[in-house]
Structure 1
Amino acid sequence: KALAKKLQELGMDKFESKGVVAFHDTNMFVDATKGIQYLHETMELCIEAFHEAMKKGPLADERCMGVKVRLVDAKLHEDSIHRGPAQVIPAVRNAIYGAMCQAKRNLLEPKQKVFINVPQELMGDATREMQQRRANIEDMKQEGDITTIISKAPVAEMFGFASAIRSATAGRALWSTEHAGFEKIPYELQDNVVKKIRERKGLKPEPYDEEYYAS
């Protein structure tokens, strides 16, 4: 009841808030069903399937963030022998995957804030190095002859940066980074990134669609 009240205070629908049965990181599982026979005794298996799906999503086999899964209907076999883990978990997991495929899911990438202190005459070289790495230049601060460049870049684009920035600035740049959360990968880059991740993991290059999970 305390959880439902808190969720309602945050703007969640009253009926839906009472149906929240599990969280996984920033993901939520909601039982929005009414009067489904045998569901209560199999709910733990449904929750286990939810956790499995959130650990490895259908797009790139990576963990999911910010997903709300609503269970709206179910039909369960009257014989308990057919409602075990081997039957329920794959069925629920695939239903979640299929729903995620129908939704316009996005791939997120980790970002870093990059702080570079460089002599003013080398500011352009350092800036170009960052822009080549899909970085956004957020600010530049001048203090004496030193310019501080503050930018945000994808972690995936920062490999080899140490040697590159030394080369670009003749070793005269000092730099540091800090975690800056996750952001959506630009749509035009997403398919290629997904393909590379899947190939690296030994998966087929193209992710499955909702029809595959419905079969």
Structure 2
Amino acid sequence: ISRDYKGPPIMGKSPNKHNRLWVTIERLPEEVIEAIRTGKISEMQKRDERQKILMHEFGWSADDARNVIAIEGTNVLVNRIKGRQFVEEVIEHVKAGFRDAVSACVLTKEPAYGLKINLEDILIHEDPVHRGPAQIMPMTWRPIWGCILLCEPKLLEPILSFECKVPSDFVSQVIAIVQKRRGKLLDMVSEEDMMIVKAEIPVAESFGLAEELRSSTQGRAFWATQFSRWAPVPDSMQMDVIRQIRERKGLSTTPPKAEEFYDVE
């Protein structure tokens, strides 16, 4: 998402209209995302251990750090609900709805990235018949999707780090290849009669890279690539790429609007 959600909590109703849930969404800082990726923060660790890391290393409040109840991919679910009845009876269904919401997210049915989803309040029907998974899960994923769409979500693409060692005579060809592939030149280092070119290239633009480097440098370039990070697809390409992915998955080529997913009083 492009920004944190700053408005009042977004409400979702269960299909039978007997249950309600309110949520807000924030972006997770990259250092927290990296801690999740490396397993430093995980759903499986003891709550006290996770709470200490989130508080002391990442500045989270004691309440939020203590009440992380689910982690899916790089997304976190925090339970801020206080003083409501029947929460324990439905919380597993809420977690399942959260996992559905972020594992196949609203824009393109691809995983969400780096979201902190906060459960702010809940009202649950006293009769268990009216609060099963078929009611609670949609009540959870729908307002999450609505809130995401209110926060100007962006499609991300994987970026490769690229390092190429090449004779100085061929360095201009390597730079041209990088730039042609939407690459970003980071550094160039001279090493005797060789140059080391460091750059980033989107994975989507890397196909055929090896053949082009070999033919353009007469086979005298040596290079390596590895995953670096995720970055937003350029604004000028966002809608085209979103439409292409949605069409490939058999979805309407027009992304849904936030109002389609959340409810009002």
Same fold by TM (over 0.5)? yes
1:138 counterpart residue number? 186
Distance 2:201 2:127 in 1: 55
- Find the partner of 2:79 among 4, 11, 31: 31
1:154 equivalenced with 2:202 (yes/no): yes
Q: Letter of the 1:110 partner, please give it.
A: P
Q: Could you say what the CA RMSD is over the residues aligned between the two structures, in angstroms?
A: 1.8
Distance 2:102 2:248 in 1: 20
Distance 1:63 1:122 in 2: 40
1:73 equivalenced with 2:121 (yes/no): yes
Distance 2:68 2:212 in 1: 49
Distance 1:176 1:158 in 2: 12
Q: How does 1:10-25 map to 2 (within 5 A)?
A: 10-25=58-73
Per-residue deviation at 1:115?
1.6
Per-residue deviation at 1:154?
0.6
1:4 equivalenced with 2:56 (yes/no): no
Distance 1:165 1:23 in 2: 41
Distance 1:43 1:99 in 2: 20
- Structure 1 stretches lacking a partner, 5+ long: none
Per-residue deviation at 1:73?
2.0
Distance 1:194 1:101 in 2: 14
1:108 counterpart residue number? 156
SS at match of 2:254: coil
Per-residue deviation at 1:7?
2.4
Instruction: Answer whether contact 2:108 2:246 (CA < 8 A) is retained.
Output: yes
1:59 counterpart residue number? 107
Larger helix fraction of residues? 1
1:185 counterpart residue number? 233
Distance 2:209 2:251 in 1: 29
SS at match of 1:33: coil
Per-residue deviation at 1:43?
0.4
Cα-to-partner distance string for 1:92-147 (whole Å, 9 max, x where unaligned): 11111111111232222111111222221111111101101111111112223222
1:86 counterpart residue number? 134
Per-residue deviation at 1:198?
1.7
2:29 counterpart residue number? none
Distance 2:64 2:192 in 1: 58
Q: Letter of the 2:53 partner, please give it.
A: K
**Deviates further, 38-47 or 56-65:** 56-65
Q: How does 1:186-205 map to 2 (within 5 A)?
A: 186-205=234-253
TM-score, length basis structure 1: 0.91
- Structure 2 stretches lacking a partner, 5+ long: 1-46
2:7 counterpart residue number? none
Per-residue deviation at 1:174?
2.2
SS at match of 1:171: coil
Instruction: Answer whether contact 2:161 2:228 (CA < 8 A) is retained.
Output: yes
